[in-house]
A and B are shown apart, each in its own frame.
Chain A
Amino acid sequence: MGRLFDGPFLRRLESLRYASRRVPRGGRPAEQTSKSLGGGVEFADYRAYVPGEDMRRVDWMVYLRLGKLFSRLFTEELDLPVHVALDLSDSVFLPPERGRAALQAAAAFSWVALSGQDRVRVHPFGADPLPGFGPVSGKGAGMRLLDWLEGLGPSGGTGIEKTLRRIRGLAGRRGLLVVVSDFFSPSGIGGVLEELARQRHRLLLVQLVHPHDSEPPFQGEIRVIDCETREERDVTVTPAVLERYRSAWKTFQEELRSFALRRGAYLLPLQVTVDVISQVEALFLGGRLPL
């Protein structure tokens, strides 16, 4: 295990769980409460026995008392499909702390899922979707996932819309979509939000925020170069220009926040210069993240 994920890092995540009220049917047995009643351990109800049913579910005490056969029904506990869309564009690795935080966040949210026997699938992307990891479940896959994450690095431009479209097109049950990104799409935040709005999964948006994003430390004559498109722009940084920059940043933030509110999505502005796990822990109130 490299420096990204060490023992203490993982131990702090052990107690965190996603708490879904009702996971769709059809999953594997796990810890999430499902909508279907079946072979779980938590009693839910009685039902008149139908011939052909498993005789082991018949409640014989009720039969002795009432003389009728009733089957006991249990809440079925299934797994939660968790998709982690991980932005590996160059902008995420500028500065490197942001990339490190992105990998740690992806690892954290994946590890929490694996700890709860949920199924995890990681969708890394650069300008285009990259080969992903999973779906996997169980803690045993956790170490492989971490090893795999360790090997990731910057991969060019930002193709977040493509990736989200692809995730939307995947067959499977509705689950949780964790998007770890800076959301700096060259076409603007509008396209990203549109695509997010079309997702059927619950959304957890992890925005990677560096202090310089809101307060650029420049003055005088500079030539700003986009690290992905290599587009250049000459700027004379004056207080007025800085003010307009802050205003643009604020609008961007506001758009993201209002979208999250409308959609009922979680939005975690992850400060990349601060400890990642503590920020993730703060999101899991009482160790549970209700979905």
Chain B
Amino acid sequence: MNLWGLPGWLFWSAGAFALVSAFLLHFLRVRSRPVTVPTLLFWREAVKEQSPRVLFRRLSRWGSLLLVLLVLFFLLFSAGEPGPSGKNAEYRVYLLDPAALDLPAAKKEAASILGESLPRGRGRTRCALLLASLPPRPLSSFQDPSRTALAALEGARRAGAPGLRDWEAGLRAARALLEGRKRASLYVLAVDSTGLPASRILPGGITLHLVPLPAPLWDDGVQAATPVRSPLGGWDVLVRARRRGRGGPVRSLTVRAASGAEKTVLLDDRDGLAEAVLRGLSPGDRVTARLSGKDSYGANDALTLEIPRNPEIRVYAPGAGPVLQAALAAVEGARITGDPSSAQVAVLQKPGAAKKVSSLPALLWGPAAAEKPSGGPGPWRTVSLHPLVEGLAFSGVRSSALSPGTGPLIPLVRNQSGITVGISPGSPPRILAAADPEDKPNGLWESPDFPRFLARALRALSGIPFAGDGLAAGGWGAVRKGLDGGGLEFRAQGFPPTGIPLAEGRGEFPFLPGGKSSLGGLALPALTGGGPPLSGSLSRAGERPGKPSRGGPSPAFWLGLLGLFFLTLEWWAFNRGRAA
């Protein structure tokens, strides 16, 4: 395929025709026309001074032909992409945010990125384009030489509504496409990157490149907090919608559970938040929230989440005293087993206490954990967070995030009770918990926070979420091109059903010069991976008006123009010779 979207055979035939034409034209022009004359007497005199330049003339003729052919070759190879390449081929999957199809600016940017990226890897790169919807939709594949990713993007909207964004599904499909490829890379073209893994190296050594697309600066959106246990039984879910600006089509937030519960909140015609809480939901219940009407960025106007079921966690806890055993028994769904081979999680006082549990994810507790046992994790780092963060922070730890090779995801907690907790990224993962050195040796489980901590730790280790992860649909802040320098300030804020802010973070993301964009929010590691939803605001304090980025013609265009010029020159010279 090629930049012009022509089928390969047609493109190369046209290229060959152009080359042959240039060649023939040149020789038709250069070939001297034989003319019979009565005598050479006068011609000898006339070309006497020309003779020394014959060599130069011949060289210049060949030079001009070479130049024309060179330009045409350049043109061909800059615009064309050879078909299947050899074993050194790079396989590249572009995972596209479905929201980009609804946003002209984002779509244009995606088209530009695809258009710019493809020619660079021509001859060695095979590309596929996936839409990160549920289910993921392939727009072009490696085996589809008749369509470029760019052309596929152009035709994507015609294939139907893009659907809601689902990064997980998209990433799974991309990994399936890239699995087993030697040189594989994944480019995620994201309007909103919430929900993407923090790590840029995916299992299988696939490199993830995040390419931010322009998102609306201010946009209506809906968010949901993590479902929490209700004191009245069941689970509560808080859904918030934020309205930006006046007017616009969005009027109400409707939250509906599959079990039948439903709430509708009218949004005032002004900036602000609207909240709706569904209470007493059962595990497995599916909650859908939707903003009425449609704005320019519809991807964050709806969300779906499921109240997680709590499956049984089999815990192997050799040497656990009665207090610890009681605490384990109090954890919902936890069952103590004496057989380590069937256990999912181990609770140990010493890291190497039993060789037979060395392959199990384990919670290490007591003084041994504080002393960084040999063979254990690296140095600890502590951060201070509000006590309530603890639970939510752990709830966001997915099993995949703790699997080997996923990178340093180490949230550490030192709560007000003096418990120091860290998660080691080793294999198997370890949660290390130690009492403050000044505490009594058994101070850990005497802490009032201990039962909750224990439950969160077990869930995290077993890979089973404590509660459903909040589906953060849409960041409200975004990045704009055209700010040359300056910075984007992000405020991240999580919110529990109680309305008390759980976490706050600030980040600054300097823009790259030259109008390239960057996306904030992802750089807040403690809040990624399904953590609390984010909101953001764009600080324009540091904004410096810069030159707007101008999309000039591509080098291929100029080369084409040059080739055309030479062809015209050849044609003109040829015709001039013929007319004479």
**0/1 interface trace, chain A 152-186, chain B, CB 8 Å (1 if under):** 00000000000000000000000000000010101
- Flag whether A249 is at the interface (Cβ < 8 A): yes
Q: B36's contact among A94, A235, A242, A252, by CB below 8 Å, is which?
A: A94
- Flag whether A244 is at the interface (Cβ < 8 A): yes
A223 x B32 contact (CB < 8 A): yes
User: Contact residues of B with A, CB < 8 Å?
Assistant: 29-50, 54, 57, 573, 576-577, 579-580
> In the assembled complex, which residues on chain A have CB atoms less than 8 Å from the CB atom of B40?
224, 226, 229, 231, 233
A sample of 11 more A-B contacts (CB under 8 A), given A222-B34, A226-B39, is A90-B38, A219-B576, A224-B43, A225-B35, A226-B37, A233-B43, A233-B47, A241-B46, A244-B47, A245-B46, A252-B41
Q: B580's contact among A182, A220, A227, A233, by CB below 8 Å, is which?
A: A220
- Flag whether A275 is at the interface (Cβ < 8 A): no
Q: Which residue of chain B has its CB nearest to the CB of A245?
A: B46
User: A230–B34 Cα gap in the complex (Å)?
Assistant: 11
- Flag whether A91 is at the interface (Cβ < 8 A): yes
What's the minimum C-beta distance from B293 to chain A, rounded to whole angstroms?
72
B29 x A221 contact (CB < 8 A): yes
User: A182–B48 Cα gap in the complex (Å)?
Assistant: 23
User: A241–B30 Cα gap in the complex (Å)?
Assistant: 18
> In the assembled complex, which residues on chain B have CB atoms less than 8 Å from the CB atom of A232?
34
> In the assembled complex, which residues on chain A have CB atoms less than 8 Å from the CB atom of B44?
233
Q: How many residues of A contact B (CB 8 A)?
A: 41
Q: Which residue of chain A has its CB nearest to the CB of B35?
A: A222
User: A189–B34 Cα gap in the complex (Å)?
Assistant: 26
A225 x B57 contact (CB < 8 A): no
A-B contact pairs, 28 of them (CB 8 A): A92-B38, A94-B37, A217-B580, A219-B576, A219-B579, A220-B33, A220-B573, A220-B576, A220-B580, A221-B31, A221-B32, A222-B34, A225-B34, A225-B35, A226-B36, A226-B39, A227-B38, A228-B39, A231-B40, A232-B34, A233-B40, A233-B47, A241-B46, A244-B48, A244-B49, A245-B43, A247-B45, A248-B45
What's the minimum C-beta distance from B25 to chain A, rounded to whole angstroms?
13
> In the assembled complex, which residues on chain A have CB atoms less than 8 Å from the CB atom of B31?
221
User: A31–B50 Cα gap in the complex (Å)?
Assistant: 57
Within 8 A of B (CB), among A230-263: 231-237, 241-242, 244-245, 247-249, 252
- Flag whether A213 is at the interface (Cβ < 8 A): yes
B41 x A91 contact (CB < 8 A): no
What's the minimum C-beta distance from B22 to chain A, rounded to whole angstroms?
17
What's the minimum C-beta distance from A254 to chain B, rounded to whole angstroms?
13
- 6 tightest Cβ-Cβ pairs between the two chains A and B: A219-B580, A220-B577, A248-B45, A91-B38, A223-B32, A184-B39
User: A221–B30 Cα gap in the complex (Å)?
Assistant: 7
> In the assembled complex, which residues on chain A have CB atoms less than 8 Å from the CB atom of B33?
220-223
> In the assembled complex, which residues on chain B have CB atoms less than 8 Å from the CB atom of A231?
40
- Flag whether A216 is at the interface (Cβ < 8 A): yes
What's the minimum C-beta distance from B414 to chain A, rounded to whole angstroms?
89
What's the minimum C-beta distance from B577 to chain A, rounded to whole angstroms?
4
What's the minimum C-beta distance from B60 to chain A, rounded to whole angstroms?
11
User: A212–B30 Cα gap in the complex (Å)?
Assistant: 24
Interface centre among B41, B45, B49, B576 (most CB of A within 10 A): B41
B42 x A249 contact (CB < 8 A): yes
B37 x A216 contact (CB < 8 A): yes
> In the assembled complex, which residues on chain A have CB atoms less than 8 Å from the CB atom of B46?
235, 241-242, 244-245, 248
- Flag whether A63 is at the interface (Cβ < 8 A): no
User: A231–B47 Cα gap in the complex (Å)?
Assistant: 14
Q: A219's contact among B30, B45, B54, B577, by CB below 8 Å, is which?
A: B577
User: A36–B23 Cα gap in the complex (Å)?
Assistant: 80
What's the minimum C-beta distance from B396 to chain A, rounded to whole angstroms?
79
> In the assembled complex, which residues on chain B have CB atoms less than 8 Å from the CB atom of A8?
none
